[in-house]
Amino acid sequence: MVDVLDNKRSATKFRVLVEIAERQPAVNQGEIADAVGVTSQAVSEYIRELVDEGFVEKEARSRYRVTKRGVDWLFQQSSDVRRFADHVTEDVLGSMQEDAAFATAVIEAGETVSLSIEDGLLHATPGEGGPATGIATTDADAGAVVGVTGFAGIIDLDPGDVTVFQVAPIRSAEPSGSGVLAAAAAAADLVAAAGVEAVATLDASGTDPDVTFAAGEVAADAAGRGLDVVVVATTDLAGRVTDALRDSGLAYEVDDV
């Protein structure tokens, strides 16, 4: 169990320390009491305890500062709470929520189905043959949408390949076509463009982009679903694209057009 969730006192102690960190060094105990929902006397006792534990140091009257030890403790407890919240939302509630999938064959409500990702979308197949399963909540014919809940297991899915092509902004050069870009775009499952020059370069290469906004976020989501993606971006926007990919933990290649 997470330490700060073990009992009310631990949780209140955590909240008081957070309030001190947010307000330091001038700490008004009455304001903290109102924020946390305890008395000012209780806040004073918690602060005294935090000082004794080395989490807070007193600089002067009503002036306190969180120590490095206190910051480390806050980080640790926050990480534990985050992991616990992820467990609740993903493992507990995730298995209870209902999602939609395309039925690959006739499915009856209450039937166990195997789950897979095809073309970036969830598909359900009758039976327990896959590493991830669920329970159908509706009847569905092949190709129709079926409701699925009771998720278990993990869908075996390799991330797609992402290639980011950089193009010069209009002030540097006129957009021109590229055989390499045309071939890469033709082989990709999704083509995204960031910037007017990127759209123009794709057009000159004989390709219409599937997406012309939020290219990095869309590319990250698509690659995470196993799709191969080509992103064309002006050099001043390419950083936003690669930042989104890095934040999602995805590998990518960068080429110049």
Q: What is the pLDDT of residues 94-103, one digit of tens each?
A: 555 788 999 9
Mean pLDDT of 187-216: 94
pLDDT of 2 strictly over 80: no
Q: What is the pLDDT of residues 108-132, one digit of tens each?
A: 999 999 998 888 889 999 998 878 8
Give the pLDDT of residue 95. 52
Cis peptide before 169 (omega within 30 of 0): no
Domain 162-256 has CATH 3.40.1010.10: yes
CATH class of the 3-91 domain in this structure: mainly alpha
Sole residue written with tokens 């599937």? 210
pLDDT tier at 172, thresholds 50, 70, 90:
low
User: CATH 1.10.10.10 residue ranges in the chain?
Assistant: 3-91
Indicate the burial class of 25 (C-beta count within 10 angstroms; 0-12, 13-18, 19 or more).
middle
User: CATH 3.40.1010.10 residue ranges in the chain?
Assistant: 162-256
Give the pLDDT of residue 153. 82
Give the pLDDT of residue 130. 79
Give 257's contacts (C-beta < 8 A, 6+ positions apart): 165, 166, 167, 178, 180, 181, 201, 232
